[in-house]
Amino acid sequence: MKNDHIGLYRDRLLESENFRTGLQGILKKRVYETLDNFLKFSGELGFTNGSALLDLGSADGSFVECCLSHGVNACGTDISDGINLEYDKLPYDDNKFEFVTANSVIEHVNSPQNMLTEVYRVLKPGGVFIQVTPNWKYTIRDFYDDPTHVRPYSEESISELLSMYGFIRIKVVPWLVKKPNWMWQVPFSFTLARYIPFRGDTFSWIPKFLTGKTKSILVLAIKPK
C-alpha cells in the first residue's frame, strides 16, 4: 500500500536545492565513510567488498550508488516502489543482507513492528542494522514541524525498542559525520554533539573540531547468529 502523504513529502524533498544540485553524491560519500568507521568502532569489519546491503528510504539512490562504487552489493527501496513499511513485506528473501540501513526513516512510521520484523527477517545471522533518527530530547520543540514525523525516539527508547525485537549488541551514539572516535566515547557525548557551535555543513574555514552540531541519534544493532 502506498502512503501518498509520505510520497508527497518525498517528491518535495527530491525537488529541493540539495537534491537538484547533485550535492547528495558528496554528502552520501561522507555518510558512507562515517558508517564504515562506526562499524569498525563497534567491533565489526566495516563495509566489506561484496557484502550485501539494503537501504530503506533510499530517496534518489545516492547512498546506494556510493556503496556500489565501493564494492558493496547495495540496493534500495523507497515509498516510490509501493512499499509501506508499516504493512508490507520487503521483496527480498530471508537472511539475504549483511547490512540494512535506514537514515531518517523510523520516525515516519506510526508502528515500527512490521518494519523491524522485516529488517530482522532479511538480515543474515550476525547482520547489522544501522539507523539515524532525530533525538527527541533535543528536537522536542521542532520535531513535529515536519508534518510526516509521527513517532519520536530518545537514545534509551530506540535501544529498548530494538532489544524488544530480538536485536543484540545495540550501540547508540550521536550522529556525528566524519568526526574522531573519541567524540563517541566521552560520557557527555550527546551534550557535546548538541552544543558544538556550528553545523557540519558550515563555512570551510571554521575549525573542524567546532563543527558537526547534531540533534540526531546513530544506532547500530546486530541480529544474533
Q: Dihedral of CA 198/200/202/204: which sign?
A: positive
pTM: 0.86
pLDDT of residue 188: 78
Contact assessment for residue 170 and residue 153, using Cβ atoms and an 8 Å cutoff? no
In contact, 5 and 86? CB cutoff 8 Å: no
Give the CATH number for residue 160: 3.40.50.150
| Number of compact structural domains in the chain | 1
- Single-letter code of the amino acid located at 119: V
Predicted pLDDT at 1: 41
pLDDT averaged per 10 residues in sequence order, the chain, 225 residues: 60 59 77 96 95 94 95 93 91 98 95 97 98 94 92 97 98 90 85 62 47 81 97
Phi, then psi, of 153 in degrees rounded to 5: -135, 150
DSSP annotation of 90 reads P
Q: Determine the Cα–Cα distance for residues 128 and 118; give it in Å rounded to an integer.
A: 13
What's the domain range around 178? 4-222
- Grid cell digits, residue 78: 523507497
